[in-house]
Amino acid sequence: MSRSSLALNNLRGIVILVVLAFHSVLAYLGSLPQHAYVFDAPPYAWRAFAIIDTHRWFGFDLFCAWQDVYLMALMFFLSALFTWPSLKRRHSGNFLRGRFQRLGVPYLVGVFIVMPIAIYPVYRVSAGDWSIAAYIEQYLALPFWPNGPLWFLWQLLALTGVAAALFQFAPHWVDWLARRVVLAAARPILFFVALATAGALAYVPMALMFTPWRWASHGILAVQYCRPLLYAVFYLAGLAVGSNGLDRGLLAPGGRLQQQWAVWLAVALGSLVGWMGLTKLGMDAGADAPIVLRIAINTAFAVGCAAGSFFLLAVCLRFAAFPSRVLDSFAENAFSLYLFHYAFVVWLQYALLGLALSAVLKAPIVFAGTVLLSWLATLAVRAMPGGCYLIGTERRLLAKQALAPGLGAYLRDGGRFHRPGAPR
């Protein structure tokens, strides 16, 4: 593997751990209301905060605020890096069939099996009848199918379809964009300005129209109206960066991005503080907040989104470009951990409600338990007939081979490992 491949593989492991940590601490935010949200009453705010504990720590609010700004956009960016090479190798039809198996089928399993199990504790908190029959009746009476964090899968599948359409009908457009992205190796600030500007143009009008907080569900699809276009910008950016190969452009080993990691830390923290300050002014003004202030808040969010992504990319390229069995294992199992983790998060938060422990102790317990139980669930599903098709076992087994002596003989390509010269 190249240094960039190693760093990005480790980054995938880090990102999934951050996702699990993010959901693990949501029950302990200092800004939450005093009482749990009612299961069967609009606006169904438990979709964002499933369990609310009386033990709180404001430090978790700061952590979640920063992750909420950039983390999901970065995940779309990372998901797109190997898409264009895969399309060139497999072409649109075969690629889309593989992506539906990889994303669509697990999404359906998650919505119809994992989420009903995950949400039962939410029902128990406010329900008088704890029977399974009563829960199923209330669950089916909801005007939507709860998605939890699984919304990411269907939106990623939709963007994958966009990528396949571009490859089929307008490949020159991505190639044109990729040629300009190569210049980012020497001048990442220009790429940052372009990404932040495109993100703001995609996000600000939608946030003004729908507010930054509004979620909606249409059947089994959940969407935060203000963000899909923002995520599309980051996905297309990843598509262009990945089409050049990881050793060229923004992610080039020894490039300016990793050399300037401290600068990007300062930019990320500064943009976060700026967005939080503007958001506080907007909350104080309430419905009377002037349009200029609302535009400034939403623009600051888009800038913070790009800055946070650049910082994490830079710090991993600088400090995480090394083989790591632990991070590689998290990276290779990232999909299954993401698919299963929310059920364990909610049940563990519910189990700890009655314990007289501080939030600073409860959150790590939930996090550690979620990692362990999600890992065990991965092992259990892998042992089931057809389990490999759900969570991608073949990819993991090839990754284990790559960790054996001769690591350099393997190349990362489109989410799979291949020996150079082997048939694809």
Mind listing the pLDDT tens digit for each residue in 319-377?
A: 999 999 999 999 999 999 999 999 999 999 999 998 999 999 999 999 999 999 999 99
| CB 234, CB 309: distance < 8 Å | yes
Task: Determine the 3-state secondary structure of 223 from DSSP.
Answer: strand
Looking at residue 252, what is its pLDDT?
Answer: 85
User: Residue 412: which H helix or E strand, with range?
Assistant: strand 411-413
* Residues of the chain predicted below pLDDT 70: 1, 392-424
**Long-range Cβ pairs for the range 185-193 (8 Å, 24+):** 185/248, 185/249, 185/250, 185/252, 185/255, 185/256, 185/257, 186/255, 186/256, 187/256, 188/250, 188/255, 188/256, 188/257, 188/260, 188/310, 191/250, 192/267, 192/306, 192/307, 192/310
- Domain extents in the chain: 3-418
Looking at residue 253, what is its pLDDT?
Answer: 83
In terms of pTM, does the model score above 0.85? Answer: yes
Looking at residue 1, what is its pLDDT?
Answer: 62
Looking at residue 366, what is its pLDDT?
Answer: 98
| CB 345, CB 28: distance < 8 Å | no
- 34: tokens are 């005093």
Residue 53: name the closest of 406, 350, 395 by CA: 350
| CB 331, CB 12: distance < 8 Å | yes
Looking at residue 419, what is its pLDDT?
Answer: 35
Amino acid at 194: A
Looking at residue 249, what is its pLDDT?
Answer: 82
- Span between the terminal Cα atoms of the chain, in Å: 18
Looking at residue 8, what is its pLDDT?
Answer: 93
Handedness of CA 368, 119, 385, 394 (dihedral sign): negative
Mind listing the pLDDT tens digit for each residue in 165-198?
A: 999 999 888 888 888 888 777 889 999 999 999 9
